[in-house]
Structure 1
Amino acid sequence: MSTQNTKKPHDLSFGCIKEFYIPRPEANHLNAQDVIHSLLSQAINSSRTTQICFDENDQLAVNPAIVSNLIWTIQTKLEMIEKILPLAFEGDSDEKAVTL
């Protein structure tokens, strides 16, 4: 019996969170709403953190790489929300979607 390690090929496109994300078939629109709410809260927190990286004269007060990472984080979360948003409204017709 062979004990070889079979590795899956590394697909670089899956290194981005929004490309890796795949909804589960057993999830419903309420789960999608929960995920959107969580991602939106995280994006808002990252946005507020980005704002404090500037001084009162709107000059960058921290390492530019930090701001770049924060902006990338916000962008990624918003792109994930955009991808998940249609799932949040796929409920039964007699159910009302929860307002986020």
Structure 2
Amino acid sequence: MTQSDGNERKQADKLSELISARGATTSRILARASRLQQLSEAVQAMQAPWAAALRVGNIRDDAVVLFADNAAAATRAKLESQRIADCLRAEGVDCARLIFQVRPARHARG
């Protein structure tokens, strides 16, 4: 093997490592997005009309950020925060706090 072949092999190995690392990052991002979607579906499945207007936006330490489509849903959800926390705990989330933010859902334009 020539020195040139050795350098090309090292570059190929580095490229392979880079692709693998990016693949792992992408996999983690997709897994997190899937988990947030799963939690959103669990909250939306609660037997309450306001629950359909909620989405789990993020999990930070022991806090869960919930996005509400409108202020009325956010207000009602705040009143039912214990019930929502119990639902999330049943899904395996350690949540000591709920943070509510009003963020209207984006709907596909037709």
The answer to whether the superposition gives a TM-score over 0.5 is: no
Structure whose residues are more often strand by fraction: 2
TM-score range, shorter chain: 0.3 to 0.5
TM-score, structure 2 normalization: 0.31
TM-score, structure 1 normalization: 0.33
Instruction: Decide which structure has the larger Cα Rg and report it.
Output: 2
Relative contact order (C-alpha < 8 Å, sep 6+): which is higher?
A: 1
